[in-house]
Structure 1
Amino acid sequence: MNDRTVVYVIEDSVHLRAEISHNLGSLGIRSIVFNDVSELPAKIDRAVIFLFRHESSCRTLIDSYRADRAPVSAKVEFSCNAGFEKAVAAIREGASDFVVWPSEPGLLDRAIRRAEDDLRRSQPAKAMGGRAKEKVAMLTSRERQVLGKVIDGFTTERIAAKLSISPRTVDIHRRNVLSKLNVRNTAQAIVIALSSGEFQPAGDEFAMNPAYA
């Protein structure tokens, strides 16, 4: 049974799309071809690999699409007129690998396997982030404000002064946060909040603040 990851080929040259698809098929890799980003599905819920030309005019759009609509994905870039600088730029900007086209079958297979390895490493973290985001979405705006201040190292009294509410109200919001996130203490709540990607600490001081015990 073939368990290779599906490759989404995005290329505006019909001839090149067909050639890439054929070469992937000869390696036992299923591919789906697209002319540009506008043809992609509204959202991709499975793990996929994007293969596209480094010089593509929609390169930035592809990265944005991956971030917003393909949460579990990797990318491999190629060029028909490659140079060392292009390969370095592609890897620096998140590509799993870079190939020169036409590519030797072994090199193309290695590039896709590297992307598959990246997917296997990233899936647990992405899954955790997705679950954390769902939990954080249950918080009210005030509860999110309080949680954000906690992450920034504010004590209950400072949060109360900053939000113009009483310390008792702050404590109520904090208890609600723990309950909704289904955790026992503030430290666990902070882990979920940061995993969601919707909160960023102002510094590292929260790690040693006794308020998080």
Structure 2
Amino acid sequence: MTGLRTIHIVDDEEAIRKSASFMLRTSGFEVETYQDGIAFLAAAAGAAPGCILLDVRMPGMDGLEVQAELNKRGVVMPVIVLTGHGDISTAVVAMKGGAVDFIEKPFEKEVLLAAIERAFDRLNENVEAATSVQEAQTRLGVLTQREIEVLRGLVRGHPNKTIAYDLGISPRTVEVHRANLMAKLGVRSLSDALRIAFSAGLEGDG
């Protein structure tokens, strides 16, 4: 395990690189930092196995483009996407691309460390990398039709207000359905709910 505890931080903001590096080093991780995606891709082939913290909005190549290139090259290191814009549609694309999680900046230490532990679980035990299709479909089976419709809106990357408009209900009602479906699925974060939806093959259309 010791050799796999490296975190690669890819972020064009020096302040983020410094603060996250300090936080992670004091938590027992090895840390490597890169000022943009191009710099990381140049070093990726020889990089120590570990977890990638990948910022979405960067000059040259954005985080999603870097993620796509890593997938193309067959780099199997788990990715946690960092976004400072609350952009759910971006997070959906990242999750579909295989990201372990997405975190909004500024992030809390506990949230980041929990995501990193999930990332290393994936790295160490690829068998558990994804929820099985059958299990995911079984879990979705407990949802009402309306909750499925709300989840489908989330899969599209839509905010609550857009989902409410599409379904002809109030944003508050969407919030209630969203809370209910997450409780039934036994998840605490949107990324976990999306992971189950993707595993079950739930599409944004239909």
Residues 14/83 of structure 1: CA separation in 2 closer, same or farther (3 Å cut): same
Q: Tell me which residue corresponds to 1:58.
A: 62
- The question of whether the paired residues in 2 share the 8 Å contact of 1:79 and 1:99 is answered with yes
Aligned-pair identity in percent equals 23
Choose between structure 1 and 2 for higher RCO, CA contacts under 8 A separated by at least 6 residues: 2
Superposed, which structure 2 residues align to 1:32-181 within 5 Å?
Answer: 32-40=32-40, 41=43, 43-44=45-46, 46-56=48-58, 57-67=61-71, 71-122=75-126
Q: Which runs of 5+ in 2 are unaligned?
A: 130-206
SS of 2:45's equivalent in the other structure is coil
Partner Cα distance (1:112, 1:92) in 2: 18
CA shift for structure 1 position 117? 1.3
CA shift for structure 1 position 115? 0.9
Calculate the aligned-residue CA RMSD, in Å: 2.9
CA shift for structure 1 position 4? 5.4
Superposed, which structure 2 residues align to 1:12-23 within 5 Å?
Answer: 12-23=12-23
Q: Tell me whether 1:25 sits opposite 2:25 in the alignment.
A: yes
Q: Which runs of 5+ in 1 are unaligned?
A: 126-213
Q: Tell me which residue corresponds to 1:148.
A: none
- The question of whether the paired residues in 1 share the 8 Å contact of 2:10 and 2:54 is answered with yes
Count of residue pairs brought into register by the alignment: 125
Whichever residue aligns with residue 36 of structure 2, its letter is D
Residues 19/44 of structure 1: CA separation in 2 closer, same or farther (3 Å cut): same
Partner Cα distance (1:42, 1:104) in 2: 27
Q: Tell me which residue corresponds to 1:140.
A: none
CA shift for structure 1 position 121? 2.9
Moved over 4 A (4+): 1-4
